[in-house]
Structure 1
Amino acid sequence: MNLLDLGPDPRTETLRRLQALLVQRFGRIERAAAQWRRPEWVLVQGVIGARTKSEVSNAATDRLLKRYGSFEAVAQAPLEELQAELATQTYPNVAAERLKASLTALVERRGAVDLAHLAKMDTLAAMQWLEQLPGIGRKIAAGVMNASTLDRRAIVLDSHHTRILQRMGLVPPKATTDKAFAAIMPAMPDEWTGADFDEHHLLMKKLGQTWCRPAAPQCAACAAQSLCKTGLARTG
């Protein structure tokens, strides 16, 4: 029996239009420098970065490498020492515990802090492999696959990005990160590369930090207002 062809997903064109509006408002965003795109570096930055600005987590990740010389040495460092090194993070104790656990598990599995094997894996399978490590959820796994030199088509969903998608009506209103990822991936434009996915996420993050904030969103001024169910309802 043939399945009914419902045609293209209308959300895809919405995402294309949204991207154009965000670029017009914020300008293009350059990808991170080469030293910040190693998969292992992206993993560490993600693990320690909860509720912390990216530039702060970037500096903390570089600081760890400078002090210890390798991520294997970071895995062996005393927990109290790591907590002191991560004092700049919003939750330094939690960041240190998760980092030590994830790096230790990675060394046990791979013999080193080495994610080179992911390049040969399907994107979803690689993400599921990463998610078996302590402290690694869908956001970090997608970040490792997309924002690194692996350059895969996997959308990173932080709290800002997910909130905007929910308010726009593009994913279910109470979707978890995993469910939001599963809901929006089929709608992502086929022509978008991994770099486009990365830029889209960073632009959505800017939008969430400016107009589409958790409380009192400024819908009238928002670049996405014309495409947003919540924005149209609030300003109509």
Structure 2
Amino acid sequence: MSSAADLAMLVHARLCTVYNCPIPYFSDLEPLSELVSALLSHRTRNAASGKAFDALRARFPTWEEVMRADLSEIEAAIAGVTWPELKAPRIRTILSAIEARAGRLSLDFLAELSPEDARAWLEQFPGIGPKTSAAVLAFSSLRMRALPVDSHHHRVAQRLGLIGPRIGLGPAHVILLLQLPDTWTAQDLYDNHEILMMHGQKVCHHRRPACGRCALVDLCPSALKEMREP
């Protein structure tokens, strides 16, 4: 491979064949709801965070009500997530900060900004990092150009050598996005995230990756090293 960008393109092409791109969007939440969903999902399985999100909406039909609710009530509604005692005050604080900064409790105005400016606006609030800001842009009804990187995506990228072994999740967002064409659409970037994430879930497991049935085995230094070892 002549460059990381060339490798990234080859990986994308192969995995798109395996996982059938384009990948349908899994969410059509408006951006503020997607933000809350993303905050709930930190270190929590999707099924549990999805159930907590639904419970929160059932208890509080509007985000204004969540913003004014007692923390104990929010915590009780999201009890199924990891660290509900931390996420309840964080969600309420972020909602209040958005209303104060934007003048209303909505993130729809982000559609008027560039992806870079929209992410910078979100990341000014403590508790919103690169993964969350990218998720809001990419997964919500905004459908903006952004590349979220979750733990599965990150693991596959490291094993392939797209990012170095010491590159953390935050810096990986910048590096991996720069490897992809700036002409790509939001759907292209969404596909890239989804196929790398699914590959990590289905094949490139944290423990005992299934290298024997991996479509990328000939491109993967980690797999080739493992196969050479006795």
TM over 0.5: yes
Q: Match for 2:11: what amino acid? A: L
In structure 2, the partner of 1:219 is: 211
Aligned pair partner of 1:229 in 221, 224, 227: 221
Gaps of at least 5 residues in structure 1 are 1-8
In structure 1, the partner of 2:35 is: 43
Gaps of at least 5 residues in structure 2 are none
Q: CA deviation at 1:191?
A: 4.4
- Report the RMSD for the aligned CA atoms in angstroms: 2.1
In structure 1, the partner of 2:84 is: 92
In structure 1, the partner of 2:26 is: 32
Kindly report which structure 2 residues correspond to 1:67-82, keeping only aligned pairs within 5 A, or say none. 67-82=59-74
In structure 1, the partner of 2:109 is: 117
Runs of 4 or more consecutive aligned structure 1 residues displaced over 6 Å after TM superposition: none
The 8 Å contact of residues 8 and 162 in structure 2, kept in 1 or not, is answered as no
Identity %: 33
In structure 2, the partner of 1:19 is: 12
Q: CA deviation at 1:90?
A: 2.6
CA distance in structure 1 between the aligned counterparts of 2:151 and 2:27, rounded to whole angstroms: 24
What TM-score results when the alignment is normalised by the length of structure 1? 0.86
Kindly report which structure 2 residues correspond to 1:100-139, keeping only aligned pairs within 5 A, or say none. 100-139=92-131
The 8 Å contact of residues 131 and 149 in structure 2, kept in 1 or not, is answered as yes
1:167 and 2:162 aligned: no
CA distance in structure 2 between the aligned counterparts of 1:223 and 1:153, rounded to whole angstroms: 27
Of 132-141 and 145-154, more deviation after overlay is shown by 145-154
Of 112-121 and 42-51, more deviation after overlay is shown by 112-121
Q: CA deviation at 1:33?
A: 4.1
The 8 Å contact of residues 146 and 152 in structure 1, kept in 2 or not, is answered as yes
In structure 2, the partner of 1:189 is: 181
Aligned residue pairs, count: 227
CA distance in structure 1 between the aligned counterparts of 2:103 and 2:58, rounded to whole angstroms: 21
Q: Match for 2:25: what amino acid? A: R
1:61 and 2:49 aligned: no
Q: Match for 1:16: what amino acid? A: M
Q: Match for 1:65: what amino acid? A: R
